[in-house]
């Protein structure tokens, strides 16, 4: 449906993938990344399945969407 890459930090990248369906929550998404110009792929942590949970309950609760969320940490330049 919609894939969003959050503004990167110096060495981290976050992203969200809004989806439709998967009401039984059994879908999964693997993450792989590589340095620009290199052929070697590195495995990242799989994306977290989020399905209409209540978030930020203490300071302004809201219901999340139907999505996967993930990040890649400790990246080197040009990755």
Average pLDDT, the chain: 91
Residue 78 lies in a domain: no
Distance from first CA to last CA of the chain, Å, rounded? 25
Higher local confidence (pLDDT), 60 or 29: 29
Mean of pLDDT values over 35-56:
91
Residue 31 lies in a domain: yes
**Domain of 19?**
2-72
Number of domains into which the chain is organized: 1
Residue 49 lies in a domain: yes
Nearest Cα to Cα of residue 13 among 25, 3, 5, 22: 5
Residue 7 lies in a domain: yes
pLDDT in tens, 33-45: 998 899 999 999 9
The predicted model scores a pTM of 0.81
Instruction: Quote the pLDDT of residue 34.
Output: 92
């Amino acid at each position: 449906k919609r894939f969003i890459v959050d503004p990167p930090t110096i060495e981290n990248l976050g992203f969200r993938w809004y989806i439709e369906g998967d009401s039984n929550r059994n879908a999964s998404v693997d993450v792989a990344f590589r340095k620009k110009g290199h052929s070697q792929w590195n495995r990242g942590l799989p994306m977290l399945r989020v399905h209409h949970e209540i978030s930020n309950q203490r300071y302004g609760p809201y219901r999340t969407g139907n999505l996967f969320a993930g990040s890649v940490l400790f990246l080197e330049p040009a990755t």
